[in-house]
Amino acid sequence: SVSYAAVELARNIFGSLNDKTVMVIGAGEMSELTTKYLMQNGVSSVIVSNRSYEKAVKMAEDFNGRAVKFDKLATELLTTDIVISCTAATHYVIRPSNSWGILQKRKGKDIILIDIAVPRDIDPALQEIRGVNIYDIDDLENVVDANYFARRKAASAAKGIIDLEIEKFNEWLGTLYVVPVISAIKQKGELIKQQEMRRAFNKLGNISEHEIKVISSMANSIVNQLLHFPVVTLKEMATCNDGHLYAEVLKDLFALEVGEFNEEIKTRN
């Protein structure tokens, strides 16, 4: 919106608006929206001026600001950093006849006058005064265009990240069917290990705690090394189109008792 672009322009010029004195001229819907954006960007309070002083007071109260009578607004230019004007006036609101002398008293200190009114509220002739910088609707179009392309670029980057994560998720989802096979082969390895260890301990008779630990460690190592390659290979093959065939072969080779695979997941592969 024009209101957003006006505030964005001011932010681009000053960087931070936290310590800036801002005056909004007008108390209509666009002026309220502009003030809202100003507050969201760090402005703590605003000066509000409007032809109807009552409306200026109401808007100032809504935004923790201060109202100024319309015929006194020019005096605020001496200490204001940013002016955003949007009235329905048919003539210039800020013009040489009421503002030239005051603006010259600033002695070159920068002031930003942003005119978002149609027709214009601010006389371009004031640009001749050192330190006075006037921007109008045409200048704001560049800000809007820059924001548009920045959003497009950010959206494109975000889409790329989302697509990549979806691809990773689908790959992970497509490998879930091997989980029960891997679980079954590890359980079978553990079962065989426990059976053979009990058999060995019975034959050995009275052995020390240290010897039990050594035998247990050796049995664990044998089972883990024996199953490592089949398990790793099955995980790698799970992403292939015929990956479920490897799982079926492994089931048969190790005589695993695994429930039927989820047909929907198998179809993915």
User: Which domains does the chain show, CATH number per domain?
Assistant: 2-148 (3.40.50.720), 175-268 (no CATH)
Write the single-letter amino acid at 53: Y
Element at 82 (helix H, strand E): strand 82-85
23 bridge partner residues: 47, 83
DSSP state of 95: -
pLDDT for res 144: 63
Predicted confidence at residue 73, as pLDDT, reads 93
Quick one: tokens of 118? Answer: 């149609």
d(CA 99, CA 78): 9
Q: What is the pLDDT of residue 260?
A: 44
CA distances for 183 relative to 30, 68, 117, 239, angstroms = 64, 77, 71, 18
Total-model pTM = 0.56
Q: Which pLDDT score, from 0 to 100, does residue 151 have?
A: 66
Ranges in the chain, pLDDT < 50 = 260-269
Instruction: Please state the length of the chain.
Output: 269
pLDDT at 264: 38
Question: Which pLDDT value is given to residue 170?
Answer: 74
Report cis status (omega within 30 of 0) of the bond before 180: no
DSSP 254: T
Question: What percentage of the chain has pLDDT greater than the value 70?
Answer: 91
Residue 71 pLDDT: 93
Return all residues near 37 (Cβ < 8 A) that are at least 6 apart.
Answer: 3, 4, 6, 7
